Amino acid sequence: MNRVDEQVDRIKKTLEKIQTELSRVVVGQEELIRQIFICLLCGGHALIEGVPGLGKTLLVKSLGRILHLKYSRIQFTPDLMPADILGTNIVNQDDSGNRFFEFYRGPIFGQLILADEINRATPKTQSALLEAMQEQAVTVFGKKYILEPPFMVLATQNPLEMEGTYPLPEAQIDRFFFKLKIDYPTPQQLLRIIDKTTENEPDPLIQVVGAEAILEMRSLVREVPVADHIKDYAVKMIMATHPGDKNGASRVKQYVRYGSSPRGVQTLILAAKVLALLKDRFNVSREDIREVAKPALRHRLILNLRGEAEGLDPDAIIDEIIQSLS
């Protein structure tokens, strides 16, 4: 087995290990774990949305323990300030009595960041993440600090609670690679949840993969071949999310105010590449693009007033777009 084969094999095995390890504390959610893993290998961030109590925070916290990465948790509250996230300069004094500014790093200086209930902070604070998420760097008092790779933000938010929350600005949302939804567990899963959480304490989780391996896997993912017609397909899909597109689906014209940004097409291709490797393929197919379309595009479709009023699910629009392209 040559090195390429080993690397491809390692990707699959890593996912299996993560899923196995997480299954000790999290019941079900295999698909969610897989999508988070895709995000990780693509160098993206994920926004996990679900009603309270479904294990969002537990999942991310457990992931932080499994991955051999610096884990930070930021609990977003309305009084949270940007400096609380990024860090700040404080006045310090050396042995000779000279005073100087010393930068105290905030929780953003980790590798795996849990931004819990991100929509509870004000937009001003939410915006503190913009630079970090896009450029893996922060600028404080004019000085730029590079964040240690691999850097990944996993944010959670509650879709039901509107009181005291601040919807994420579009620029912020667009920086999330995937928007993932946690489904309510099935009765069988609930039974398993009872067993896992009300009986014996689970064994401590073991770390399965480190930063170096993740970075290697990331570089391999970018080598997956993509044919031109697949790229065309992804572009068509992105264009079809815009209401002005002549081939756009009828629901897009009716309910969408603004379609996906170019980050959408990058997301489609990168995520499809990981998916192809996970499926033992060395090329991206249209099926891969279709499979990652919902998590990649659902938060990038900005609905108009009518769409918002009718509570339209963007997934239904994406389904129609996929249908129109086939």
Partner 1 sequence: MNSASSFQQKIDTLMLQRKRRKLFNFLLWSLTFFLILKTTVLLWGKVFFPLSGFFISYPVPFLLALGLAWLIHRLFRKDLSTELLSLDSRMGLNDRISTAFEYLTPDKKSLLKEKLLEDAAKIMGGLPQNKILPWPFSPAYLLLPAFLFLQLLIPRWDLPHPGFTGKNEAGQLARIGKFMAEFTREKMQNQDKTESPSGGEPYRELQALAEDLEDQSLTRKELVQTLGEMKKKVREERSRMSRNLMNDLNAGQASDKDSPASQTPTPSSPQALDRLTEKLKDLFEGHLPESLTKDLSRLRENFELEKFLDQALGMTFVPGTQDNNDALLTMEEKGHSRGSESGEGKNSPATGLAEPPSGRWDQEGGPGDSKNGRGKDGRRKEEGQGPPRPGGEGNFTAGTAKGSGEKLTPSELKPGKGSLSQERGLPSGTAPSPSLGVRSQPLFGKTEEIREQNLKGVPFSTRREKESALRQEKIPREYREVIKNYFLSIKEDKGIKPHEQSR
The residues that touch partner 1, with contacts defined as CB under 8 A, are 4-5, 8, 220, 223-230, 279, 281-288
Q: Which residue has the tokens 């197919």?
A: 285
3 state DSSP class of 99 = strand
Considering only CA atoms, which of 242, 241, 249, 252 is closest in space to residue 293?
A: 241
Shortest CB 198 distance to partner 1, Å:
44
In whole angstroms, the minimum distance from the beta carbon of 318 to partner 1 comes to 20
What is the C-alpha separation between 102 and 90, in angstroms, rounded?
A: 5
Q: Residue 138 or 230: which CB sits closer to partner 1? A: 230
Q: Which is nearer to partner 1, 68 or 290 (CB)?
A: 290
Write down the residue that tokens 């989780």 correspond to: 205
- Alpha-carbon distances of 142 from 82, 104, 105, 139, rounded to whole Å: 15, 15, 15, 6
CB of 265 to partner 1, least distance (A): 17
Beta strands (DSSP E) in the chain are 46-49, 67-68, 71-75, 87-93, 99-105, 112-116, 137-140, 143-146, 152-157, 178-181, 209-210, 256-258, 302-303
Closest distance to partner 1 from the beta carbon of 283 (Å): 4
Residue labelled with tokens 């040559």: 2
Separation between Cα atoms, residue 104 and residue 83, nearest integer Å: 10
CB 293 within 8 A of CB 275: no
The secondary structure element, H or E, covering residue 321 is helix 314-325
Query: Measured from the CB atom, is 96 or 326 closer to partner 1?
Result: 326
User: 223 or 310, CB closer to partner 1?
Assistant: 223
Q: Which is nearer to partner 1, 61 or 273 (CB)?
A: 273
Cβ–Cβ under 8 Å, residues 213 and 10: yes
CB of 285 to partner 1, least distance (A): 4
**Residue labelled with tokens 């994406």:** 318
Q: Which is nearer to partner 1, 198 or 326 (CB)?
A: 326
Residue 182 is encoded by which pair of tokens? Answer: 């946690």
User: Please, which residue, 93 or 219, has the CB nearer to partner 1?
Assistant: 219
**Cβ-based nearer residue to partner 1, 216 or 320:** 216
Q: Least Å distance between CB 4 and partner 1?
A: 6
22 versus 275: smaller Cβ distance to partner 1: 275
Other C-beta atoms lying within 10 Å of the C-beta of residue 191: 12
Half-sphere exposure of 40 (CA within 13 A, CB side): 29
CB of 1 to partner 1, least distance (A): 12
The least distance separating partner 1 from the CB of residue 276, rounded to whole angstroms, comes to 8
